[in-house]
Amino acid sequence: MPPPVVTENLTREMLAFYRKAGIFAHEAPVRQVVTRVERLNPAWIHPMHGGSFTREIASQFYRALYEERFAFNGMLRGRQLPVEAHTP
C-alpha cells in the first residue's frame, strides 16, 4: 500500500503499473488532462488512488507522462492478449 503522502519519485513504478494494467488506451487524452492540471499549478494533488503529493513531486509525474510511453500495448494485467482481441 502506498504511503498517504508521497515524497519520493515514483514515476517508474507508476508508468510500469499503467503499462502492466493496460488501463489507458491512448496517451494523448491523458497528456491533455496533465497539461490542464499543470497550468492550474495546485499546491497538492490528491489522486483517487495512491498517496497525495505536492507540486514539486507533481512536476516529476508530469514530465514522465509527457516523455514516456504508458498506454495499452497489447498486455492486460501483465499478460499478452491474443492478437484478435485487440485488432480493429
Reported as a single tens digit per residue, the pLDDT across 15-73 is 888 887 778 888 999 999 999 999 999 999 998 888 899 999 999 999 999 999 988 77
pLDDT band at 14 (very low <50, low <70, confident <90, very high): confident
pLDDT at 19: 80
- Find the mean pLDDT for residues 5-13: 91
Q: Which amino acid is at 78?
A: G
Q: How far is CA 68 from CA 1, 3, 82, in A?
A: 24, 24, 25
* CA neighbor of 13 nearest in space, from 64, 72, 47, 58: 64
DSSP 84: G
Query: Do 14 and 61 touch, CB atoms closer than 8 A?
Result: yes
The Cα–Cα gap between 57 and 39 comes to 15
Cell of 63: 514530465
